[in-house]
Structure 1
Amino acid sequence: MSWTDAAGLAGVLMILVAYAGAALGRLDPKGAWSLLANLIGACLILVSLLVADFNLSSTAMEGSWALVALAGLVRLGFKRRG
């Protein structure tokens, strides 16, 4: 297994754990931990797509996923600032 495959699989695991945690009521889907896991997971999958096996639709999906998670984190940051 290449390092890009390992990065992509780690990203998938992070997103699935965050989703399962939210679906089971153990993790707030709008909370920092969930959003951070989604952002990092999507970025790891993007690395595997951009470096090893490019796929346009998957890249668009993961890029969008990362941007939504980042927007949520920015929103949280503004909320906490006042």
Structure 2
Amino acid sequence: MKQLIQIAGSLCVLVPFVLAQFGRLDTRSVAYTGLNLIGSTVLSVQAAQGRQWGFLLLEGVWAGVSLVALLRAVSGGVDESPTTLDRAST
């Protein structure tokens, strides 16, 4: 059963990523960030239960960033300003 939960969590992270890479899903959308939050949270819990600290760090940070992005997407507060990299290329 643990393996099925891990696979489901992984798919919640991987499917939106693949769709975004092929231009089928916006990385700032509620669907993308919501699925990332669900998947990374599931994997964080599994990592904590298995005392896999490196994996917990990775997935915990992923979940935190996904939560912030989801809250921005839901509130419509997406920052449209250019990033530092964008400014450097102009």
- For residue 47 of structure 1, report the CA deviation from its aligned partner: 2.0
Is the contact made by 1:27 and 1:34 (CA closer than 8 Å) also made in structure 2? yes
The separation in 1 between residues aligned to 2:26 and 2:33, in whole angstroms, is 9
Task: Tell whether 2:63 aligns with 1:66.
Answer: yes
- For residue 27 of structure 1, report the CA deviation from its aligned partner: 0.5
The separation in 2 between residues aligned to 1:50 and 1:8, in whole angstroms, is 13
Q: What TM-score, normalized to structure 1? A: 0.85
The separation in 1 between residues aligned to 2:52 and 2:32, in whole angstroms, is 26
Aligned counterpart, 2:12: 14
Greater Rg, structure 1 or structure 2? 2
- For residue 40 of structure 1, report the CA deviation from its aligned partner: 0.4
Runs of 4+ residues over 4 Å off in structure 1: none
Task: Tell whether 2:74 aligns with 1:77.
Answer: yes
Name structure 1 gaps, 5 residues minimum: none
The separation in 1 between residues aligned to 2:45 and 2:5, in whole angstroms, is 7
Amino acid at match of 1:22: A
Q: What TM-score, normalized to structure 2? A: 0.78
Aligned counterpart, 2:39: 41
Relative to structure 1, the CA distance from residue 76 to residue 31 in structure 2 (aligned partners, 3 Å threshold; closer, same or farther) is: same
**Identity %, equivalent residues:** 30
Aligned counterpart, 2:85: none
The separation in 1 between residues aligned to 2:8 and 2:75, in whole angstroms, is 29
